[in-house]
Chains A and B, each alone.
Chain A
Amino acid sequence: MNHPQPPETSDKPLATGERLPKTELKDFGPEAVKEILAIAAKYPDKLAATLPALHIAQRDFGFVGLDAMKAVAKALSIPEGHVFGVASFYSMYQKHPVGRHHIQVCTNISCALRGAAKLLEKVSERTGVEPGAGPSADGEWSVEEVECLASCGSGPCLQVNHDIYDEDVDEAKLESILEGCKRGEYRAWAK
């Protein structure tokens, strides 16, 4: 199946703020609707196309806010509540604007036992952004506390831009991840 992939890596250096969400969008363009309906046609049930449609929404809107969720529901003629539920379940759909580097830290029980709270605090301190508070003024950073990232045996863990993913993150490891971000070693958020 030809599902849209998560945002692609771009090597091009970006101007500050360039990756901020395209908040002016209120609804899908006709091309995106066509793309979504083509995906929906592959399933017996339109609800099954919710995930790929949300990826398209994230690509086009920059993040999956309320307008994007409503647009998905409208494009697929499916209940809004279903889209809200699905979108809020998955940590790979951003419900709020994010920075160029969006750092997600798991705080579920295994990670918590291995120091996730401290790690989250550290990330916040080093980037200067409160978890869930929206991107930093320069558009570089955003931080989010998330549910399990499936690394229960090797926490605490975090991921950046749904791309790099690190286990057993201690202070030194965090430092190198953040440096890597600054050097543009990792795929930046969205297009």
Chain B
Amino acid sequence: MARLLINDLPFHATEGMSLLDAARAAGLDVPSLCHDRRLDAASACRLCEVEVKGQERPLCACATPATEGMEVRTHTPELEAYRRGVLEMLARNYPADAPAQIPEAPFHRLLARYGVEPTGHRDPAKADGTHPYMQVDLSQCIDCYRCVHICAEVQGQFVWKVLERGGRTRVEATGGSLLQSECVSCGACADTCPTGAIVDRSRLELGPAAAWTRTVCPYCGTGCEMQVGVAGDRIVAVKPALDSPVNHGHLCVKGRYGTGFVDAEDRVLHPMVRRDGEWVRVSWDEALDAAVDLLRRVKATHGPEAIGVLGSSRATNEEGFLAQKLARLALGTGNVDCCARVCHAPSAAGLGLALGTGAATNSFADIEKAGSLLVFGANPTENHPIVGTRIKQRALRGVPLVVVDPRRTELARMATVHLALKPGTNMPLLLALAHVIVHEGLEDKAFIEARTVDFEAFAQSLDAWPPERAAEVCGVTADDIRAAARIYATAKPSYMCHGLGVTEHIQGTETVTGLAHLAMLTGNLGVEGGGVNPLRGQNNVQGTAQMGCEPKRMTGYQPMDKALAAHEARWGAKLPGPGLDVLQMVDAARDGHFKALVAIGYDVFLSNPDAAASEAALGNLEGLVVVDLFMNETARAFGTVFLPACSSFEKEGTFMNGDRRVQRVRAAVKPRGEARSDQDILCALGARLGFAEAFTYAGPSEVWDEIRGLWSAVAGISYARLEEGGLQWPCPSEAHPGTAVLHTDAFPVGPRAAFRPQAWNPSSEFPDARWPLQLNTGRSLFHFNAATMTDRTDNALLQPTDRLDVHPDDALAHGLADGDPVKVESRHGTFTMKTHITDQVRPGDLWCTFHSKGIFVNRATGQGRDPVTHTPEYKVTAVTISKV
């Protein structure tokens, strides 16, 4: 705390405040052009200079800490004249027509405020219109370098650079145009640019926003908060929320620019039913009746176990909860699941078994508190870009980074140690890491003693995996295994995060347990900067599973035996026991025991592995009710009733992100066409099924209050509190601040967590003479999963299609040139896509994204499943390729 005088009035500055912060907090409008709270002070524009008593010359307020006893003047006639002078200098060569184009730009507002008219012209050579989302005209550049700094300090991309010196100084994108550069289209430069030299195209084409709504991004599980700008009920801009603890004023290309799907031409805007093989537009009443008739009929003839409900990981917590309520209460079936099944179910199960809570143990903020970082089977710079940039920034500042990934991803290139293992060999590698830690005496003996049991048996199971043996199996070097183990065990606290490279294997749950073991072994649990942190895939996949869209779990991911009675008491009805998960539902449909499915925002056909098997099974259904924004592949092939849903920009509720944070989702625009929120749809179905009272709510907050009553960990999270910002569960009471780090004193499983001996179970999809190559699949920066949303935005221009990454050796052996179409064949099916030759993949490995429905990669993926969660083995498929 520092007491100072600003323009003769006392002001109490808090720790770390600059004079600029202090003056602005005191309500003074000190002008600045180069300042951005996300960046270090640049002192480039010199506009914020203030007079400080005892100082010969004015000081830059942005770079001067507010200290005790200072006497500051901010708006003396001399300072104001000086500021006008600076602006006049900048305006001399500044395009005269620019202020009228974007009057609200900070520079233009200052020009107006000081009555300065720009007199320059545009230089067409300085314009760059190559990028689909950003328009660049460096005629409007005033050399504040905010774009250069934000690209380096926040995104870590280094696209913008300053060239030359003095009068020749200029800002330029490395690589010629923005599109040709390494730009990842995060838009941070356009967001910070004070003039419009770099500006969102949407601002030029759609005009300024008339109102802003704070909500949560609809894409990945990072849960970035953003401000959605709307004009005339149309989304015209998205800006990051500057004060969000998750994204610190940053967004990625999907969050910032991927809103075009909301008003896509092919969005389904009215309910439909299929009659004689054709989709026919009907009223909501007809459609809901058709759905209910189907469900009633199947229930009457085949029993409730022939019906299933798939909740959506895109929908809100409240809607996930209502989906399970519809299944269990209104339909009487335990068959309820969500797409967590095909991604992070092993994380929830593995962490639940080992530690007691099936969620990330720590927060994203721990990335900045960690002494080292371990990224295991995840590619966050593309799939969780804001988490990725936070990791990147730490690595750039010298924090040791270990990356375990078969591919040389962006983080792998920056890593201290990159273990490029063969897909399917996570377990041997993990055991060898533990082996090194134990054999070199690097384990945390005090933690093991105080907080764990059964260490001896686990330690013995490690004897089978000395690093030399693992090195051979995994295709890495023993020295690298040792180096990685030493970093993780000694540069503490060590933050670990993992992705689908861990879970989408036949030993997914076992591997997550192995990750927990590694953290237990080194005492990296219950501490800031440590933990085991699954990077959840979708905006609300943590939430939907946590809301009970799980065949063996109830609200709060509580086991059925513990929570069933409370639910029965609350809902006043006998509820069914455990049911089928989505893969079992498909199996049962294949065998003819399963007849009707309600699929909410989940394109089962496109997303599940071995599409031929899904096709045969879903074809056996008597009916399939689809709740979605678009005619997805499941609906197109098998749907019988289509209920058009709202996007998250059109409704209220909450999402739960990957660090257990519940955040408010708010409506920015009106529902499109006749679309309704999932909540309205589920309640209408529930009412029509005879449960009108149980499905009547005044709004999502009432649904949330019911959830709070059934799950004590969120009892303290009220909508009123969420207005102040997100809260991390456990948060058992309204006075509780929420929990950033789990397991600080004990585990939900008890005071001590148990080690368990582990072994490796090799995949049956490893290559052989007939199927010599190994296919691995994943996501890219520009698209999201089935690309239902991103394909309907200009992201499709940034990445038009899937490509098959082939190592140059394999390309040579198969006579492939870059761009050649190639047929990929597995035991299960085939697809064709274009070759992309790169040494980012290991020789013998192939990698591709699975976004394009035209290519349909999941026709080739197989039937391997994790035995605990049934999560498919997307990451290992033996294939052969041939030039088309």
| Interfacial residues, chain A to chain B (CB-CB below 8 A) | 44-45, 77, 79-82, 84-85, 88-91, 108, 147-148
Contacts and interface: CB of A to CB of B under 8 A. Distances in A.
10 contacts: A45-B398, A77-B413, A79-B157, A79-B174, A80-B174, A82-B152, A85-B163, A88-B164, A89-B163, A91-B165
Contacts of B459: none
B414 interface: yes
B166 A147 contact: yes
Contact of A84 (B166, B168, B174, B414): B174
Nearest to A82: B158
> Counting chain A CB atoms within 10 Å of each CB, which of B161, B396, B398 scores highest?
B161
Nearest to B173: A81
Interface of B: 152, 157-168, 174, 182, 396-398, 413-414
> Counting chain B CB atoms within 10 Å of each CB, which of A44, A80, A88, A89 scores highest?
A88
A88 B166 CA distance: 11
B164 A89 contact: yes
Contact of A82 (B161, B397, B413, B414): B161
A77 B414 contact: yes
Contact of B161 (A45, A85, A90, A148): A85
A88 B163 contact: yes
B154 to A, nearest CB: 14
Contacts of A45: 396-398
Contacts of A90: 165
A34 B437 CA distance: 31
> Counting chain A CB atoms within 10 Å of each CB, which of B158, B159, B397, B398 scores highest?
B158
Contacts of A147: 165-168
A77 B395 CA distance: 12
Given A82-B152, A89-B163, 7 more contacts: A45-B396, A45-B398, A77-B414, A79-B152, A81-B159, A85-B163, A88-B163
A85 B159 CA distance: 11
A85 B162 contact: yes
Given A79-B174, A81-B174, A84-B174, A89 B397 contact: no
A29 B166 CA distance: 34
Contacts of B398: 44-45
B166 A81 contact: no
A74 to B, nearest CB: 11
Contact of A81 (B158, B397, B413): B158
A114 B6 CA distance: 44
Contacts of A80: 158, 174
A91 B165 CA distance: 9
Contact of B163 (A79, A84, A108): A84
A78 to B, nearest CB: 8
> Counting chain B CB atoms within 10 Å of each CB, which of A82, A84, A85, A91 scores highest?
A85
B383 to A, nearest CB: 22
A84 to B, nearest CB: 6
A44 B396 CA distance: 10
B168 to A, nearest CB: 8
A120 to B, nearest CB: 15
Nearest to A79: B158
Question: Which 5 A-B pairs rank lowest in CB-CB distance, beginning with the nearest?
Answer: A79-B158, A81-B161, A81-B174, A147-B166, A85-B161
Nearest to B163: A88
A104 to B, nearest CB: 13
B595 to A, nearest CB: 58
A63 to B, nearest CB: 16
A88 B168 CA distance: 10
Contacts of B152: 79, 82
Contact of B165 (A77, A79, A81, A88): A88
A145 to B, nearest CB: 10
A82 B165 CA distance: 14
Nearest to A83: B161
A77 to B, nearest CB: 7
B414 A89 contact: no
Contacts of B168: 147
Contacts of B165: 88-91, 147
Contacts of B160: 81
A135 B313 CA distance: 66
Nearest to B174: A81
A147 B164 CA distance: 9
A84 B413 contact: no
Contact of B166 (A79, A82, A108): A108
Contacts of B164: 88-89
Nearest to A90: B165
A82 B396 CA distance: 13
A88 B170 CA distance: 11
A159 to B, nearest CB: 15
A147 B163 CA distance: 13
A84 B397 contact: no
Nearest to A47: B396
Given A44-B398, A45-B397, A148 B162 contact: no
A91 B160 CA distance: 21
Contacts of A81: 158-161, 174
A81 B161 CA distance: 5
Nearest to B162: A85
Contacts of B167: 147
Contacts of A85: 161-163
Contacts of B174: 79-81, 84
Contacts of A82: 152, 158, 161
A82 B397 CA distance: 15
Contacts of A148: 166
A11 B772 CA distance: 64
Contacts of B166: 108, 147-148
A171 to B, nearest CB: 26
Nearest to B397: A45
A55 B167 CA distance: 25
B141 to A, nearest CB: 14
B180 to A, nearest CB: 13
A90 B158 CA distance: 19
